[in-house]
Amino acid sequence: MKRRIFPALLCGLGAAALVGFSDVPAQTPGEKLKKFAEKYGEKRNPFIKGKDKEKDTPKAELAATDDAAPIPQDQLAFFEKKIRPVLIDQCYSCHTTETAKGPKGSLTVDTRLGLRSGGDSGPAVVPNNLKASLIVKAMKGDGLSQMPPKNKLSDEVVADFEKWIGMGAPDPRNGKSKGEAKVIDIEKGREHWAFQPVKSSTSNASIDSLILAKLNEHKLTPSSPADPRTLVRRVYFDLIGLPPTPEQVEAFVSGKETYEQLLDRLLKSPQFGEKWGRHWLDIARYAESSGKEQNMVYPFAWRYRDYVIASFNKDKPYNEFLMEQLAGDLLPAANDTEKAEKTIATGFLAVGAKSHGERNRQQFLLDVADEQIDTMGQAMLGLTIACARCHDHKFDPIPTKDYYAIAGIFTSTETLFGTATGMQARQSAPLATLPKDSDVPVGPMMSKSELDAKKASLATMKTGLDKQRQDDRKNGQTVPINQLFYIQQIGITEKQLSYYDADGTPKKMAMAAQDRTFPKDMPVHIRGEVDKLGEVVPRGFVQVASTAPAKIASRSSGRKELAEWVASEKNPLTARVMSNRIWQHLFGQGLVHSPDNFGTTGQAPTHPELLDLLASDFVKNGWSVKKLIREVMLSKTYRQASANIGANAAIDPDNNFLWRMSKRRLDAEAIRDAMFQVSGQLTMTPPNGSPVQKFEGNLQQLGRPAPGGFGGGPGMGGGGISSIMETSRRSVYIPILRDNVPEALELFDFAEPSLVTGSRDGTSVPSQALYLMNNPQVMKLAESFSEKLAKGTKTDSERVNAAFQLAFGRPATATETKAATLFIEKFTKAEMMSSRKKADVERAAWAAFAQALFSAAEFRYLD
């Protein structure tokens, strides 16, 4: 499969812009950070009543540190959950300027600057340098006095600090030492733009008029319309994530299909849900395994994936879509199929990452609820509610009581995620059973041979367990380690077999949520600790975004009421957040550049009136996602060209005011799917479930040999898991296993499946080019592409032109045709000196040419 592509291209094509890696310059991490820093400044909570006590920061501290860099959301959450509570609980009593005798050892830990400048012994924290960070040495008692002196911290806490320092010690606290925090002023908090009611436009305002007004305000000129070929390719990728065929391009260019007809046809396409459903799966942190230390397989997560895709295809009203994911099991259903669908929707709450190895059951349940609160808050409301778990929110008007009001709802809910109990996977749960008569897919069958093999393996393991017990008794073994391994595998295999009927038909089961029998309110957990309880808080919602107190029945978890509040047209956040997400997916960035954070540390909208116009229209049109997409795509703003205008770029280099269409790199799925489609290898039919359904247990153990030589690890029957990633179907159907994302997706900035990801990165790094040059599957697709070209053309020029039509949606220019044919000629001549046959050499030449097109910037980017 080895192929000398790019050296040959450089020789054969010269300066022709065929490969085009340089036309979209890479952005270094430093440049990204600098650009980000210009937008995001460090802030304190502006909604605290009264004034904080502030003391000047010592000059030594200022000299010892640089300005605070903006902090990614996942790192900020880590600090707030893992680091700040420990500092407050274990360190503040001795190491703040508020202590009666001053900070011990001249060390203050209640500011970022204090930690980094350190005390008499040196800097307590040096970002990215564990050896120089004295705080870790003190925690371990490594050559320093043990800190804290009377309460040695756990290994887990020390590991958290090491991880934090390794990620650069992100710390949002500013350079002032503060006294005790004051009470959050909810009424003042409602003055923030995001908590204001959505304003309906009373004038004849439109998308284009509001954009043009902003352009005029900043003395910017709108771009000309995009040419038809560019526009049709843009529309296809934006709506269905696939390139148009040459015939579809020509139908639009020639006028056989109008723009409105094009939009309507693609909005009705089943591929629409696959494209736009994937957007939602990004923010729903969808995956088919739990991640973290144990990374347990979720065999039935695929039902939630399919529910999301189907919902977007049906244009399910967005408010109903949200309610079903939070409380579908509590909503009325017309029949068993609808009941099953709404139950599956609550998989939203179940598919998150979990620490199955947690020993403390109460801690595990609190962590699950916290992950659900965090996901719901960012995905549906654009709020970082989970930052209030350990203390009042440091930036937004969300007191800790609000967090525990919502936590009471989720701890009164049982999360049904499946998974078996094992030696280290201590936390398990059942699955929901769907109505037997519901018309839902069942997933892949288990063949008789597979069933028989698993039953035989189970019998062998049970025999092995009996023998091991006998051996342990004979040897006086008091710690039955090998017995535990047998017991774990027996439990996993029995659980897996329980998913199937005797004939191998899968049972109708799903990840879901349901109310607990005895719901109850939650006490505030002081500093987020499981055993330090404060006052009990009635179940409820976020006060600052509520128009009235929550009314939750005592025997209800409150999920239904929470769902109604989230999905209410009176909620000032919900319609704005989704309208902004739709805009972002069509333009590359939202009107609010921080799509998951509408709080004070996020960005204010560049066009507030336009955001409210979109949100208002969204609700007026029955929360129809398709209607809002159509409205935006019909605008002249969307149909602009992407060409640069020097005068505009000097004023607005980031195109914040939308004077042109920004160039965008295709997402990872579109790049992969496009290669499959132009090669004629893409399978368009959705799969029946997921191959993950046939697996059970810990990913790290799958495929490992079991003791006694009786087969593979848990639930595997001796096979490996990498094979399940191989599919010719669309990328949305590739199983997504946490910490095992396929290379084809991960290299091109696929969403981290453990986090809410409203906006993916858009990096340009060498590993992407190397993948397109050397990956065996890419080479194989290039060969298929070249074979497809050979069947429909007679001359080399025709073949080159057909290739450009398929790959780029346009014909090749005369210069490109000449360069490509010259490359084929030189490649063939050079390779003919080997012993290969001429026909084989020619096939290799055209495959190399096809692969070069895959690597071209024009293939990977949208104008």
Q: Which residue has the higher pLDDT, 415 or 171?
A: 415
Cα–Cα distance measured from residue 841 to residue 843, given in angstroms and rounded to the nearest whole number = 5
Q: What is the pLDDT of residue 485?
A: 80
Ordered by start, the domain boundaries in the chain are 54-178, 276-440+512-566, 445-505+688-726
pLDDT class for 182, splitting at 50, 70, 90?
Answer: low
- Is the pLDDT at 545 greater than 80? The verdict is yes
- Is the pLDDT at 58 greater than 60? The verdict is no
Mean pLDDT of 234-255: 98
Mean pLDDT of 341-352: 98
740: tokens are: 């095992």
Task: Report the chain's mean pLDDT, rounded to a whole number.
Answer: 87
**CB neighbours (10 Å) of residue 825?**
13
- Is the pLDDT at 710 greater than 70? The verdict is no
CA angle 215, 609, 568 (to 5 degrees): 150
Least Cα distance to 606 among 595, 616, 596 occurs for 595
Mean pLDDT of 7-28: 42
79: tokens are: 């600090």
The per-residue pLDDT for range 74-111, each reduced to its tens digit, is 787 788 778 888 888 788 878 876 665 667 777 888 88
**Taking the model in full, what pTM does it have?**
0.85
- Is the pLDDT at 32 greater than 70? The verdict is no
The per-residue pLDDT for range 122-156, each reduced to its tens digit, is 788 999 988 888 888 888 877 667 778 877 888 88
The per-type count for the chain, helices as H runs and strands as E runs, is 34, 10
**CB neighbours (10 Å) of residue 284?**
26
On whether the CB atoms of residues 46 and 785 are closer than 8 A, the answer is no
The per-residue pLDDT for range 730-763, each reduced to its tens digit, is 999 999 999 999 999 999 999 999 999 999 998 9
Cα–Cα distance measured from residue 772 to residue 769, given in angstroms and rounded to the nearest whole number = 5
pLDDT class for 55, splitting at 50, 70, 90?
Answer: very low
- Please give the share of the chain, as a percent, with pLDDT higher than 90: 67
- Is the pLDDT at 798 greater than 70? The verdict is yes
DSSP secondary structure code for residue 82 in this structure: I
861: tokens are: 């980017």
On whether the CB atoms of residues 659 and 652 are closer than 8 A, the answer is yes
3-class state of residue 78 by DSSP: helix
Mean pLDDT of 246-256: 98
- Please give the share of the chain, as a percent, with pLDDT higher than 70: 88
Residue 729 β-bridge partners: 683
Cα–Cα distance measured from residue 176 to residue 179, given in angstroms and rounded to the nearest whole number = 10
The per-residue pLDDT for range 422-462, each reduced to its tens digit, is 767 889 899 999 999 999 999 999 999 999 999 999 999 99
The per-residue pLDDT for range 371-403, each reduced to its tens digit, is 999 999 999 999 999 999 999 999 999 999 999
The per-residue pLDDT for range 714-724, each reduced to its tens digit, is 443 334 566 77
Q: What is the 3-state secondary structure (H, E, C) of 171-189?
A: CCCCCCEECCCCCECHHHH
Q: What is the pLDDT of residue 123?
A: 86
Q: What is the pLDDT of residue 50?
A: 59
Cα–Cα distance measured from residue 693 to residue 691, given in angstroms and rounded to the nearest whole number = 5
On whether the CB atoms of residues 431 and 350 are closer than 8 A, the answer is no
Q: What is the pLDDT of residue 61?
A: 40
Expressed in angstroms, the distance from the first to the final Cα of the chain is 33
Q: What is the DSSP string of 478-518?
A: SS-HHHHHHHHHHHHHHHHHTTB-TTSPBP-EE-EEEE-SS
The per-residue pLDDT for range 260-269, each reduced to its tens digit, is 999 999 999 9
Q: What is the DSSP string of 239-272?
A: HHSSPPPHHHHHHHHTTSS-HHHHHHHHHTSHHH
The per-residue pLDDT for range 583-616, each reduced to its tens digit, is 999 999 999 999 999 999 999 999 999 999 999 9
Q: What is the pLDDT of residue 141?
A: 79
Least Cα distance to 400 among 532, 568, 508 occurs for 532
Q: Which residue has the higher pLDDT, 115 or 209?
A: 209
677: tokens are: 């489609």
Least Cα distance to 285 among 227, 348, 341, 339 occurs for 348
Q: What is the pLDDT of residue 507?
A: 93
